[in-house]
Amino acid sequence: MAQIPDADYRKRLEIERREKDAFFKEDPHSPIPWALREKFTGLAYFPPSPKYRFTVTLHRNPKPETVTLATSKGIPRDMLKWGYFEFSVDGQTRRLQVYKSIPKPGEHDESLFVPFRDATSGKETYGAARYMDLAIQKTDAYELDFNVAYNPYCAYSDDYVCPFPPRENWLDIRIEAGERNFPLEEEKEKLPPRGAAGHHH
């Protein structure tokens, strides 16, 4: 799987981040509470880093089992345990389990879901989890890119239902890539609670 040059990659990533900021500030479907939209100037990220981009192999489970992920609202979420990726940071090899939604009748889900915590969680990054979504490939070669790791919608509003990563996806190393803490976290905590909306990530 060919990787695009770093300069082009950084440019593409910065464009995608700006587009997401515009969506979060202006769109009716944004998870940012209306009361915070005026103050919202953008999400916070680690700088793009090639160190946290990997070409990996999906070690697929021959018979994917159903597992239940805990969620922020206590509503269990069943998913298929699809396989795992292995990658190395600073010579330390780690493994992340990969999940796939159980499609509802008539639906066809073509993405894989990688929820994780790491040694930055609860410090520089959202404590509950960060997520990565990967389009299913025809082969088992994938790009695992922590630069696109993002916060679940629960980081911005308590109105959402977000799955937590199982303990086997708690990394004991720092992943200094992807989205950082929500800049308006303190203001969010002061908002009055509202009803829950069912949204998974």
What's the gap between Cα 154 and its chain centre? 12
Compute how many other C-beta atoms are within 10 angstroms of the C-beta atom of residue 51: 13
Q: How many independent structural domains does the chain possess?
A: 1
Q: What's the domain range around 75? A: 6-189
Task: Decide if 195 is inside a domain.
Answer: no
Do residues 89 and 53 lie in contact, with contact meaning Cβ atoms separated by under 8 Å?
Answer: no
Query: pLDDT tens track of the chain, all 201 residues?
Result: 455 668 889 999 999 999 999 999 999 999 999 999 999 999 999 999 999 999 999 999 999 999 999 999 888 999 999 999 999 999 999 999 999 998 777 777 789 999 999 999 999 999 999 999 999 999 999 999 999 999 999 999 988 989 999 999 999 999 999 999 999 988 888 887 654 444 445
Structure tokens at 173: 């190393």
Task: Decide if 197 is inside a domain.
Answer: no
Burial class (CB in 10 A: 0-12, 13-18, 19+), 119: middle
Please provide the DSSP assignment of 4-39 as one string. Answer: PPHHHHHHHHHHHHHHHHHHHHH-TT-SS-HHHHTT
Task: Decide if 198 is inside a domain.
Answer: no
The predicted pLDDT at position 20 comes to 97
